[in-house]
Amino acid sequence: MFAKKPVHMQVNTPAAEHSLKRVLKPVDLVLLGIGAIVGTGVFVLSGIAAGLHSGNALPISFVLAGIVCLFAALCYAEFSTMIPVAGSAYTYCYTALGEIWAWIIGWDLILEYGLAISAVAIGWSGYFTVLLSSAGIVLPPSLSNPMGVAGGIVNLPAILIVLALTALLVAGTKKSSKFNAVIVAIKLAVILLFICLGFVAIQPSNWDPLMPPAGWLGIFSGAAIVFFAFIGFDAVVTAAEEVENPQKNLPLGIIGSLAVCMVLYIIVAVVLTGILPFAELAKPAAISAPIAYALNAIGYSWGAALVSIGALCGMTSVLLVMIFGQSRILFSMSRDGLFPRVFSEIHPVTHTPAKVTIFIGIITALVAGIFPLTIVAELVNMGTLVAFSIVALGVIILRYQQPTLARPFRCPLVPVVPILCIGTCGFLIFHLTTLAHEMFVIWLGVGLFIYFIYGMKNSGNRRSSTAKDLEVISSHINPETPFPNVTEGIQEEPGT
């Protein structure tokens, strides 16, 4: 239960039927990260934070939130170059803390990604039906609302978008990355359009006063909100096993995508608060669509329509990357025996984990289409913050337990940066609601039940079948060449 999977066994190429094809380049990774990060956050959360919390200091809130994410990104970058395989925080936790903690973080990520997919699909459906209505095409309520809501039976657009993106991902990672690049280009163009149109309409008097009514407390509250506009960069490392030269390219993808988004967010915040007084952004119409509202206010109604299209594209790319990340996490857990092996089978033609991707697509599509899902943002945030904290803890542990391991990228100032990551994430977790804590504990309880009746049993069978091989392997491991040709196995901790 507390067994760890050594680094040399994580990075060794798996058997052909359980391996992924390396096709992603640095630009693909940066676009993958931007695709996951830039979505509803910049189009919605900026107005909520400015109007209700940060005021004209919204750019400062974005800077603070970006710094917190940067701490986590540096930790992810170190792990991703040490262990360039699919699975993200789950894989790193397996190496640093052991199997039971890996299961907990994997189960946590299943919740985070799964809920995000369904929730964003419902949001996508809302934007899509509005755009159809503006074109004179009206979907009946029975096909645009879930059962029990305004005469609805099924949210058909939400189901179709999830299934369409699932099919795209099954077709091949390279094809889906090209599609993602097009979508990212569209939404970045829309954001740049807002910056250009808004820049000439800035009134410096709107920035006075700089500090919000609540002072630094308002800035920190705003940072806690816009922090979640940065969530998504960790999706880059779920693609580690499909990256060319991962030791070099993964840090570029992780830090590059986060840096691009941070700069864009800060500029958008400066322009947004310069166009309108921050009190104006507290109005209901502005809170739901602050960028479109601001463009309407300065006479660019056509620009507001384009922003709506950009928001739709933004959510499309978020959905694509979330389905991608979810499938890679389940793929890794299945390959380790914690889930049925069928989830780690690779399609012989497309070289993608087709079966697990289809499974995820069907489940999340049904949830999005049938249930009147309210976005439980705090529950998603809880999962993300826990994952960030555990990855940071793993960096500290491996630095001291295995200092000789090859680290193509080293997180600077260890243990200071990881401790700062854990501390800032813990601060935000503490300020989440009691309901979020209770729901998270219930989810973990269900996960532990599944682990003890299935995961531990099957993983234990794998350990017993390779124990003798491991004794031989361990006696021949050289710190100078830490990655011998071993396909899989588990290293037992003393006393387990």
Domain boundaries, the chain: 7-468
Q: What is the pLDDT of residue 493?
A: 40
DSSP assignment of 138-205 equals: ---HHHHSBTTSTT-B--HHHHHHHHHHHHHHHH-HHHHHHHHHHHHHHHHHHHHHHHHHHHTT--GG
Domain 7-468 carries which CATH code?
1.20.1740.10
Separation CA 242–CA 25 (nearest Å): 9
Cβ neighbours of residue 432 closer than 8 Å, sequence gap 6 or more: 378, 381, 382
Q: pLDDT: is 27 or 418 the higher one?
A: 418
CA angle (180 as vertex; 136, 185 as ends), nearest 5? 75
Reported confidence tier of residue 122, pLDDT bands at 50, 70, 90: confident
Which range has highest mean pLDDT (22-26, 34-38, 390-394)?
A: 390-394
Cβ neighbours of residue 129 closer than 8 Å, sequence gap 6 or more: 139, 144, 157
Cβ neighbours of residue 301 closer than 8 Å, sequence gap 6 or more: 295
Q: What is the pLDDT of residue 211?
A: 92
Residue pLDDT, tens place only, 199-225: 999 999 999 999 999 999 899 888 888
Reported confidence tier of residue 489, pLDDT bands at 50, 70, 90: very low
Mean pLDDT of 465-482: 38
Mean pLDDT of 408-429: 92
Q: What is the pLDDT of residue 233?
A: 79
Residue pLDDT, tens place only, 261-303: 999 999 999 999 999 999 898 887 677 678 888 988 898 888 8
Which range has highest mean pLDDT (2-16, 357-371, 481-495)?
A: 357-371
Q: pLDDT: is 359 or 436 the higher one?
A: 359
Whether the per-residue pLDDT at 235 is higher than 80: the answer is: no
Separation CA 384–CA 387 (nearest Å): 5
- Rounded to the nearest 10°, the torsion over CA 460, 465, 471, 473 is -110
CB 466 within 8 A of CB 337: no
Whether the per-residue pLDDT at 326 is higher than 70: the answer is: yes
Separation CA 275–CA 288 (nearest Å): 17
Reported confidence tier of residue 260, pLDDT bands at 50, 70, 90: very high
Beta bridge partners of 153: 146
Q: What is the pLDDT of residue 86?
A: 59
Percent over 70 (pLDDT), the chain: 84
Whether the per-residue pLDDT at 11 is higher than 70: the answer is: no
Q: What is the pLDDT of residue 8?
A: 58
